[in-house]
Amino acid sequence: MVKHILILPGDGIGPEIMAEAVKALKIANEKYSLEVELEFDDLGGAAYDHYGVPLADETLARARAADAVLLGAVGGPKWDTIEPALRPERGLLKIRSQLELFGNLRPAILYPQLASASTLKPDVVSGLDILIVRELTGGIYFGQPRERRTLDNGERQAYDTLPYSESEIRRIAKVGFDMAMVRNRKLCSVDKANVLASSQLWREVVEEVARDYPEVELSHMYVDNCAMQLVRAPKQFDVIVTDNMFGDILSDQASMLTGSIGMLPSASLDRNNKGMYEPCHGSAPDIAGQGVANPLATILSVSMMLRYTFNQVQAADAIEKAVSLVLDQGLRTGDIMSDGCRRVGTAEMGDAVASALENL
């Protein structure tokens, strides 16, 4: 059956890294007879420039009709001065919420070849393989009311709202427990229940869901302690489940355990495992257009797409293997560069993965 994939390169380094992910996807398509058909459209700043909005209705319709979406990254100083509702990041938030992609899986795996690329001691991070499950369509990034206003005394004030409903918490908690069941049956729920009402409900509902998963060892941790523990002893974790903003921050932090944010893929799934796949990083305006960005996070996102949405385990494994082989060859983009390795650009890295995949 033909699988329709909508490709949204976005802006900044998005188009550069996406070109390399598409190379890998096309080879996997041939080699494993995946029957994928690719469609391309704009999101974020690229969409603002093209359509005047960061997510056009026709693009959203295409995303709904597709079997999966592959996204690069969006955002950048070029669009910093436009009105907030039209900023590139708004397009990203809108597509996530419109497609109800509430379950964001962010694996942080240290490739053994990159042990020296991490800023942490090898014994702290070696063998690291954790999964952060981030709630993606609720919480403070979406909460209403949000407002910026001028007080009577002339002072500017702004506020956001952090709401979570029981059903939102329950469905993401289930994703966390389900992931724990197919991994090491250990789940840490991260919140700020000592201060926030939304976190108190979070903890309560997670405890309720836990009753259906007696085999899973559940713990709770405050987010500030979790930030500390991730750096002190990250291997104590297996699956972490947390809210939208905490997950955003903790997964960037976890990325540095793996050497670079350029290594972290992600899957954002709805209740039917239909999904959008994207690297965890942003559009990296500081290096955009230079051909030096690491495309591996996006290539690994293709692997997650084949695994989670299309159940093509062999092709998904092959892409991961190809990435590992290229790291064995000593090829490194600047962000993961270390002594004795060969520095390559985005396209050379992508070509190397494509050829490793071809020759598997």
Spatial contact of 282 and 145, defined as CB atoms under 8 Å apart: no
- Which string of DSSP letters, residue by residue, matches 336-359? G--TT-EE--HHHHHHHHHHHHHT
Active-site residue (options: 49, 178, 252, 351):
252
Task: Indicate if 235 belongs to the active site.
Answer: no
- Ligand-binding annotation for 293, yes or no, is yes
**Which of the listed partners (Mg ion, ligand NAI, none) does 206 bind, with a CB threshold of 5 to 8 Å by partner kind?**
none
If the CB atoms of residues 209 and 280 are measured against ligand NAI, the closer one turns out to be: 280
Task: Indicate if 252 belongs to the active site.
Answer: yes
* Contact code string over 231-250 relative to Mg ion, x by CB under 5 A: -----------------x--
Task: Indicate if 224 belongs to the active site.
Answer: yes
Active-site residue (options: 3, 23, 174, 192):
192
- Minimal distance in Å, beta carbon 301 to Mg ion? 14
Spatial contact of 166 and 200, defined as CB atoms under 8 Å apart: no
φ, ψ for residue 61 (rounded to 5)?
-65, -40
Cα separations in angstroms, 172 against 22, 86, 206, 345: 30, 29, 9, 38
- Minimal distance in Å, beta carbon 29 to ligand NAI? 23
If the CB atoms of residues 75 and 275 are measured against ligand NAI, the closer one turns out to be: 75
Cα separations in angstroms, 152 against 146, 149, 156, 157, 160: 18, 10, 9, 10, 20
Task: Indicate if 238 belongs to the active site.
Answer: no
Q: Is 196 helix (H, G, I), strand (E, B) or coil?
A: coil
- Minimal distance in Å, beta carbon 250 to ligand NAI? 14
If binding is defined by CB under 5 A, does position 135 make contact with Mg ion?
no
Task: Indicate if 26 belongs to the active site.
Answer: no
For Mg ion (CB under 5 A), the number of binding residues is 1
Site for ligand NAI, rule CB under 6 A: 13, 17, 73-76, 89, 92, 261-262, 278, 281-287, 293-294, 297, 335
- Minimal distance in Å, beta carbon 28 to ligand NAI? 20
Distance, CA of 269 to CA of 272 (rounded, Å): 7
Q: Is 185 helix (H, G, I), strand (E, B) or coil?
A: coil
- Minimal distance in Å, beta carbon 78 to Mg ion? 19
What is the rounded (10 degree) CA torsion for 72, 75, 77, 83? 150
DSSP letter at 335? G
If the CB atoms of residues 3 and 90 are measured against ligand NAI, the closer one turns out to be: 90
Spatial contact of 172 and 102, defined as CB atoms under 8 Å apart: yes
Catalytic residues: 141, 192, 224, 248, 252
Which residues are documented as binding site for substrate? 96, 106, 134, 224
Which residues are documented as binding site for Mg(2+)? 224, 248, 252
Binding site residues, Mg ion, CB under 5 A: 248
